[in-house]
Structure 1
Amino acid sequence: MFKQFIGWKFILVTIAVAIIAATIWFVSNLSAKIQDEERKKVATWVEAYRELLKSGSDANLNLATEIVTTNTTIPLIQTDAAGNIVDSRNLDTTKISQNPTLLQEQLLSFKRQHPPFIIEIDAKNKVYNYVYYGDSLILKQIKYYPYIQLLVVALFIGAVLFGLSSTNRATQNLVWVGLAKETAHQLGTPLSSIEAWLEILRENEANVPFVNELTKDVDRLKLITDRFSKIGSVPKLEQKDIIRQIEDMAAYIRRRAPQKVQIGVHTAETELPVMISAPLFDWVIENLLKNALDSMEGKGNIDITIENHPAVVTVDIADTGKGISKMNLDKIFRPGFSTKKRGWGLGLSLAKRIIEDYHKGRLSVKNSELNKGTTFRIILRK
């Protein structure tokens, strides 16, 4: 089980997680260093402001003035002891003039971010002001940069994976379509030959009984060939009574099912016309019924419930077989996946393609429980 995870996908995910962790760690350290530098700058600004208030020597005054005026990046708000704003710097004055409450909101934000610096205005009367500051624009950009980068990378990876998935799905479709058409082509030649031999055998009246039985099998093979030939091309949808279609197919499977298997069709309607391709739709029903038979191992019930809704028709095919494990529920419609020893894993994949691509409906597992059974649901638009 562990070996399944040691693949290129797991390695790529591990590398991606490592890069993300390293990026966040590096940016966090860088942000902390810049934040510390900005605090030192604010402390220097506060000291220079104090020098201006003392009005000392001209040299000190000029130096203090230069320090105070050169801070153009770190936003500051100065308040008195009562919390009234007396000064602000490096804030968007246009937005503040349009929204007077914005300055108070910024002050509350600064109080949450950093502790204030205290400026002594009047030592004798113990008058103090408080300087609050916030992060500079550069620091904010650095903090949010890794998350924006990760979002862009995630979107890019998602787009690439979606493209690869679509390409892979299209390639698989081409393979299955080519296989189906080639199968139909290969069956056509021997069928024509068998039909000719049957006509010769029919000339002898003694051969008529078994010739008639052989003719039924040939007709069945012709129907299968016709189904394969329609894969890959857009089928012509015709209005058919879906109840009659399902009852005919149920009767066909019933004749070939073990005696201990009961197949029932349940509906409150007498007739229900729906636009379908009859040969392909019959193929879907036949495939689902045969899968149900295989899962029951010779005994049990298969119940087909047809319901008429305002916009759609639903067909539920429920069996009392061995069910599908949760691990396999997401895999059963994948081409090539099969739990049978001799299965090709094409039946459910083609059935889903027929219902969803050709009939614009939906085929899904309504519910399944191990050792109790499975219910497949078909939804067709009316």
Structure 2
Amino acid sequence: MLGKLGSANIKLLLLALSMAIVIALLLYTQSIVTQLQEREYTIANLSAKAYEYLGKDPTSEYDITFIFEEIIQKDIADFPIIIADPQQENYKSKNIDIPDEIQEDFDREQVFLRQEAEEMAKETPPIVLKSDDTTVVQYVYYAESDLVKALRVLPYIEIFVATLFILTGYLSFSYIKRHEQANIWVGMSKETAHQLGTPLSSLAGWLELLNSQTGDPEALSETINEMESDIGRLNRIAHRFSKIGAQPDLNKQDITETIAKTSEYLRKRLPASGKKVSIQFDNSHPVEARYNAELMEWVFENITKNALDAIGSTEGKISFDVSRSGKYVVVDITDTGKGIEKRYKKDIFRPGYSTKKRGWGLGLSLAKRIVENYHRGKLYVHESAPGKGTTFRMKIPA
């Protein structure tokens, strides 16, 4: 899915997702701030109403100071609040930081509270209490609590963190893509050298053999045929690389013939590798599928070479099994190599992943791309266990 989107679209998707998260956080934070502001206004208004009630009933036996202490001084109100008389000469306060040096000086304290009340009035209009329509009883000044002020700053912190997150994600994604592309370029270069190296080495060997077969026409003819085979292989390699990035032609044909052809080519060259490995395949039952023969040969070669590396220097066996399963043709390639640990089953198809010291980790990645991107099939590790070998399963439409 991500491969179809493209790196540019993935970056845009990540940016859009991050922006959506930031906007959601900002809206949520603003909602909380609004609710807290409404709560503080309600508490301040409740306090003012209590004073208004007392102002309308001057004969009440309740003391204003008592109401102030019960409603205002308790922890019901956790925001700065100042109550002034009608002449605004006497002030009472809560949650106001009064400097220590003026706490014992009533006049200076009153001046300080008056100044604080004036500053509060610039932000929020005071609540005016009246005993009737004209007579002012009290002024209630209040300001935002420290919590609300902190929440007002929170969106900027969120934007900074989100920006940092987006930047880090973008740089990380770009680094991963550059690293992956570098691995692919290096891998493709080495894969090209490897693909060309096998037939070229064979040709060099056939030329040496020709020099010793000048008096044997039959052997000479066989060697020439093998040389023609390697030259034909060089042409096929050129065609393979020309198809990378383009949509290949898929034709209905017998896949057992392609497997047999690949197996025979590799089987003849096994002695040169010094390994005692047998490649087994029974192609007595034709099975047709839609595929590109040149690219599919490449898939079988890469998987077989991976199996040879897994077997190492010991004796072993590689077998092919072809069957039909509904609308798909299933090919199982099984080896008796060292097997794959469960945690590495997905990594082996990642470009650049290799367990070999001089490996470049492109063979299986390329095989998977050919099967899944060009043939709309599947290539995966069907079975594997350390020390018991591995079975790769390929499924392509019939």
TM-score (norm 2): 0.51
Q: Which runs of 5+ in 2 are unaligned?
A: 1-31, 56-84, 93-119, 121-144
Q: Distance in 1 between matches of 2:396 and 2:170?
A: 31
The alpha carbon displacement at 1:223 in A equals 4.2
Structure 1, residues 228-282: CA drift from partner, whole Å, max 9, x if none?
3234422443332112222333344456668975544479x94332232323312
**Quick one: structure 1 residues 247 and 320, their matched pair in 2 at CA, closer, same or farther if it must change by over 3 Å?**
same
The alpha carbon displacement at 1:172 in A equals 4.3
Q: Distance in 2 between matches of 1:250 and 1:139?
A: 72
**Quick one: structure 1 residues 292 and 191, their matched pair in 2 at CA, closer, same or farther if it must change by over 3 Å?**
closer
Length, aligned pairs only: 283
Could you tell me which residue of structure 2 aligns to residue 50 of structure 1?
50
Q: Distance in 2 between matches of 1:266 and 1:53?
A: 102
The alpha carbon displacement at 1:323 in A equals 0.9
Q: Distance in 2 between matches of 1:254 and 1:58?
A: 108
Could you tell me which residue of structure 1 aligns to residue 250 of structure 2?
237
Query: Secondary structure of the residue that 1:332 maps to in structure 2?
Result: helix
Q: Distance in 2 between matches of 1:327 and 1:280?
A: 29
**Quick one: structure 1 residues 263 and 178, their matched pair in 2 at CA, closer, same or farther if it must change by over 3 Å?**
closer
Could you tell me which of 275, 281, 290 is aligned with 2:290?
275
Q: Contact (CA 8 Å) 2:190, 2:360: kept in 1 or not?
A: no
Could you tell me which of 304, 320, 329 is aligned with 1:289?
304
Could you tell me which residue of structure 1 aligns to residue 19 of structure 2?
none
Say yes or no: does 1:247 pair with 2:256.
no
The alpha carbon displacement at 1:370 in A equals 0.8
**Quick one: structure 1 residues 320 and 222, their matched pair in 2 at CA, closer, same or farther if it must change by over 3 Å?**
same
**Quick one: structure 1 residues 53 and 248, their matched pair in 2 at CA, closer, same or farther if it must change by over 3 Å?**
same
Could you tell me which residue of structure 2 aligns to residue 215 of structure 1?
224
Query: Secondary structure of the residue that 2:242 maps to in structure 1?
Result: coil
**Quick one: structure 1 residues 153 and 190, their matched pair in 2 at CA, closer, same or farther if it must change by over 3 Å?**
same
What one-letter code is carried by the residue in structure 2 that aligns with 1:208? Answer: P
Structure 1, residues 185-204: CA drift from partner, whole Å, max 9, x if none?
899999999999999999xx
**Quick one: structure 1 residues 276 and 329, their matched pair in 2 at CA, closer, same or farther if it must change by over 3 Å?**
same
What one-letter code is carried by the residue in structure 2 that aligns with 1:219? Answer: E
Q: Distance in 1 between matches of 2:210 and 2:309?
A: 36
The alpha carbon displacement at 1:321 in A equals 1.7
Aligned runs of 1:180-219 on 2, under 5 Å?
A: 206-219=215-228
Q: Contact (CA 8 Å) 1:181, 1:231: kept in 2 or not?
A: no
Query: Secondary structure of the residue that 2:349 maps to in structure 1?
Result: coil
Computing the radius of gyration over CA atoms, which structure comes out larger, 1 or 2? 2
Q: Contact (CA 8 Å) 2:281, 2:319: kept in 1 or not?
A: yes
Q: Distance in 1 between matches of 2:367 and 2:44?
A: 75
Could you tell me which residue of structure 1 aligns to residue 4 of structure 2?
none
**Quick one: structure 1 residues 176 and 230, their matched pair in 2 at CA, closer, same or farther if it must change by over 3 Å?**
farther
Residues 307-316 or 370-379, more deviating: 307-316
The alpha carbon displacement at 1:166 in A equals 3.7
The alpha carbon displacement at 1:156 in A equals 5.0
What one-letter code is carried by the residue in structure 2 that aligns with 1:274? Answer: A
Q: Distance in 2 between matches of 1:175 and 1:261?
A: 30
Say yes or no: does 1:365 pair with 2:394.
no
Could you tell me which residue of structure 2 aligns to residue 375 of structure 1?
391
**Quick one: structure 1 residues 216 and 156, their matched pair in 2 at CA, closer, same or farther if it must change by over 3 Å?**
farther
Identity of aligned residues (%): 31
Q: Distance in 1 between matches of 2:330 and 2:315?
A: 26
Residues 343-352 or 182-191, more deviating: 182-191
Query: Secondary structure of the residue that 1:313 maps to in structure 2?
Result: strand
TM-score (norm 1): 0.53
What one-letter code is carried by the residue in structure 1 that aligns with 2:235? Answer: D
RMSD over aligned Cα atoms: 5.3
- Where relative contact order (Cα < 8 A, 6+ residues apart) is larger, the structure is 2
